[in-house]
Structure 1
């Protein structure tokens, strides 16, 4: 096959969507791409213990919050909105925009909106994106925009603090995932989505000579000269003018950032060996004794990269931890990629164990009576990272209660335990975390959410509020578009036959990713 045939955007996306046959079809009749898609409104069989009418009502109310967040002139969702759905935040991000796009697809599948309304909404957003300022050499978007105008923010709303345009690898990852979903599931908007997706260069973030063999993804880059916060250096990984790249790289596998790695590998812009560069855990040696606990595991080699398959021990389980121990880190990429199916010896073990561990933490260890912990609005005000501390390598912890109770089980013989049996206090549950868990423990998650709604006043006009403190009864009466989009994504997979997984994980994506992630064996399992 000649390079000239592969050089057009239409044929590149045809390769991703269906291989050689699709290339022939694309070069012969480009309009055929508009006829592809997964087809609207395909219901799934619900697991036992989950009521369809209730789940649909939760989705309807969640979608109402996303509509309220979205500016009618631009089709851009705000980052968040007040609990009465009256006041938008005044800013948005690529992640927020992506979440609105995939939520529209789910809303269509659940018959909340018609296929025509879905297409109109998605098209408006995509046309706004096409006209927005961005880093043109990479096709990537800045972190913050005004949702009312689509203009890149240079001053922060209300405070007036200076905003320096920053191009985030993970935020663009979620926008890229959404564009790929739309390209495969909204026929009338497929060409617009493909145009935006095809110009995105994931290798702009990939550092082949980074601190780990196999290469890591930068946190992002600043495209302009200014007083930059944090460590940066001048350079470029693509044929484009230099930017200011972060010295920070994403280097843990249990992280929402792996969506960017998947996009890079599936498009062929990043080598497959990159998947094995990230830590599963940090080493078990005493000179690494600063992280949360001493792991167990062994070293294996994949694609020439040595990987320490470490795991933490928690309540009789061996679990590969994230950085903070949140459901979001573990399961958000799983909304799009059926990792437990494609990688049964790694994610097929870790996902259900992480969900079980979060449930047992809330119900047994901490005794909150409810569970599900991820970064969210803080019931006491602002925003905070919540999680299960012993499921994260961060020694500072993502804590599950407002008091930041910090267990310390020590590090074998290297560091003595200082708080092995903590008493947890005012726990904070985050409903979107329980919705993500519904993909693995549907009846338990459904019961948990039903009780949060009934017993904790954790529900409002836009669905579940962002977070609830279980003992004080304090509620974060706010809706975050990202968290609401996670709710919509999880419901879509549970109630609409894995709609987002079908849309994202096309045959060509499976051929690119499944052999890579499927070869690995984590150290996860029953201890």
Structure 2
């Protein structure tokens, strides 16, 4: 099946040129600023490392006091520390010998972690001091049911792919860990006709909540998968890329993930009615839809956050391999985030992504209008949302009269550096100047811009995103290059090159 845009709409679509293969070189002043941010951010990463194991904790308080390290860590935390160490080496913050020592210790620790033997998958939470599997939550004493997350394992595998290129001395050990991880264990061929979909993860024992008994990799061992699949083309695509690159998941699975949900009333619960066309790629019918926001047309994420859109291209050169799709969409996504913060909500700042909540705890922040989820990730503490309706299928509601206490997170601006460098640096400078938002380990995690509340913590995930963005900016994309080997490029690049998305600004 294939439909076409109306001539009038097609005529108004402006196709953007692809972004260059690497970010433009920074000016001397910009380079000095970026190096300062990197030096301080690296300080927070090292402060999170437990000296007994060399493994980072999940987070640490803004004072960087060792006693405030979290008592848990995750595969994603370990992944971010691995690539942050390589970034620190390439930027010149540490010697090659120190980087090798740090990476070798982490690889040794990962080799010791308990995991699900039939699939080679790691569990979500470990004690960074002892490396023991966490079965009781340290803060509350509540029971933790061991769970293997497809996304957490995807990030760890992606980091191992980088390490086997970036640190030749441990390449064999990194590769042994990588190739022992079987991502078929998440791949449900029946999740979507022709392409299948990935489950969110599995428990080795039947959990208290919803689960589905499965044995997707044919190991003969039953596990209990999540009831949900990952159907949106959001940050979870890193696991799809890894599985495809390793030859464990079919290539056409990439085209099974929704760009947007279709434009029929069957999907009218979604955030807005998309505009798009059906195209065929690798024998798969793909609805190449877009959302509209303040004069922009873009492919959305699930919740509308910067993390969902722009963490993956710090490793995977989507904007060059998919020059007519991702290469056009990523800068428009940044433009939409900026338009929301500056023009729509009028916060005076921008950059919305999941982070610690300045009022306590952790929360998902984003731009509701550019996420497919009806409830969306909102940008303020009051959870102000929009409802554009879905054509004749669902009536819309009036636009919000105003927004409340908007929460911006610095890591979102660092992710945007490649696509709007001057604007990102300006936004960061304003956040630093206007709030008590910068400490001994760089930018604190988040700022509520109207109340002035600051989440004075450092998270391994968020600081790791900052480090890889800075590593790419200051090394002409060396970090990307470690992932995007010729072998990986040969598998993934042709897939991403197939589509032309009708995005515009």
TM-score of the aligned structures, taking structure 2 as reference length: 0.93
Q: Give 1:266's aligned residue.
A: 245
SS of the equivalent of 1:519 reads coil
Q: Give 1:144's aligned residue.
A: 125
SS of the equivalent of 1:217 reads strand
Q: Which residue, out of 164, 185, 188, partners 1:183?
A: 164
Q: Which residue, out of 66, 77, 98, partners 2:45?
A: 66
The 1:512/1:343 distance shift into structure 2, 3 A limit, reads same
Q: Give 2:223's aligned residue.
A: 243
Whole-angstrom distance in 2 between the partners of 1:137 and 1:237 = 9
Structure 2 residue 83 is matched with structure 1 residue 98: no
Which segment is superposed worse, 283-292 or 439-448?
283-292
1:407 Cα deviation from its structure 2 partner:
1.4
Whole-angstrom distance in 2 between the partners of 1:284 and 1:329 = 22
SS of the equivalent of 2:77 reads helix
Could you tell me whether the CA contact under 8 Å between 1:406 and 1:422 is conserved in 2?
A: no
1:413 Cα deviation from its structure 2 partner:
2.1
User: Per-residue displacement from partner, 1:303-360 (whole Å, max 9, x unpaired)?
Assistant: 1110111111111111111110001110111001111111111101110100011011
Q: Give 1:16's aligned residue.
A: none
Unaligned runs of 5+ in 2: 1-21
User: Per-residue displacement from partner, 1:155-193 (whole Å, max 9, x unpaired)?
Assistant: 110211111111110000100111111110012222221
Could you tell me whether the CA contact under 8 Å between 2:42 and 2:441 is conserved in 1?
A: yes
The 1:49/1:256 distance shift into structure 2, 3 A limit, reads farther
Whole-angstrom distance in 2 between the partners of 1:357 and 1:234 = 40
Runs of 4+ with deviation above 6 angstroms: none
Could you tell me whether the CA contact under 8 Å between 2:206 and 2:224 is conserved in 1?
A: no
1:226 Cα deviation from its structure 2 partner:
4.0
1:457 Cα deviation from its structure 2 partner:
1.8
Q: Give 1:380's aligned residue.
A: 359
Unaligned runs of 5+ in 1: 1-42
User: Per-residue displacement from partner, 1:42-79 (whole Å, max 9, x unpaired)?
Assistant: x9862359611111111111111111111011111111
Q: Which residue, out of 162, 170, 184, partners 1:203?
A: 184
SS of the equivalent of 1:406 reads coil
Aligned ranges 1:246-257 → 2 under 5 Å: 246-253=226-233, 255-257=234-236
Could you tell me whether the CA contact under 8 Å between 2:81 and 2:464 is conserved in 1?
A: yes
Q: Give 1:37's aligned residue.
A: none
Whole-angstrom distance in 2 between the partners of 1:45 and 1:436 = 15
Aligned ranges 1:110-509 → 2 under 5 Å: 110-223=91-204, 225-253=205-233, 255-509=234-488
1:136 Cα deviation from its structure 2 partner:
1.6
Could you tell me whether the CA contact under 8 Å between 1:45 and 1:495 is conserved in 2?
A: no
1:211 Cα deviation from its structure 2 partner:
3.3
Could you tell me whether the CA contact under 8 Å between 1:256 and 1:330 is conserved in 2?
A: yes
Q: Give 1:32's aligned residue.
A: none
Aligned length: 482
User: Per-residue displacement from partner, 1:352-404 (whole Å, max 9, x unpaired)?
Assistant: 10001101111111111111000000001000000000010111110001111
User: Per-residue displacement from partner, 1:2-57 (whole Å, max 9, x unpaired)?
Assistant: xxxxxxxxxxxxxxxxxxxxxxxxxxxxxxxxxxxxxxxxx986235961111111
The 1:278/1:113 distance shift into structure 2, 3 A limit, reads same
Whole-angstrom distance in 1 between the partners of 2:445 and 2:198 = 30
Q: Give 1:525's aligned residue.
A: 504
SS of the equivalent of 2:261 reads coil
Whole-angstrom distance in 1 between the partners of 2:28 and 2:358 = 30
1:212 Cα deviation from its structure 2 partner:
4.5
Q: Give 1:75's aligned residue.
A: 54
Could you tell me whether the CA contact under 8 Å between 2:64 and 2:440 is conserved in 1?
A: yes
SS of the equivalent of 2:396 reads coil
Whole-angstrom distance in 1 between the partners of 2:48 and 2:172 = 26
SS of the equivalent of 1:307 reads strand
The 1:165/1:412 distance shift into structure 2, 3 A limit, reads same
The 1:50/1:198 distance shift into structure 2, 3 A limit, reads farther
Whole-angstrom distance in 2 between the partners of 1:207 and 1:48 = 48
Q: Give 1:29's aligned residue.
A: none
1:408 Cα deviation from its structure 2 partner:
1.6
TM-score of the aligned structures, taking structure 1 as reference length: 0.89
The 1:240/1:446 distance shift into structure 2, 3 A limit, reads farther
Could you tell me whether the CA contact under 8 Å between 2:340 and 2:346 is conserved in 1?
A: yes
1:247 Cα deviation from its structure 2 partner:
2.3
SS of the equivalent of 2:39 reads helix
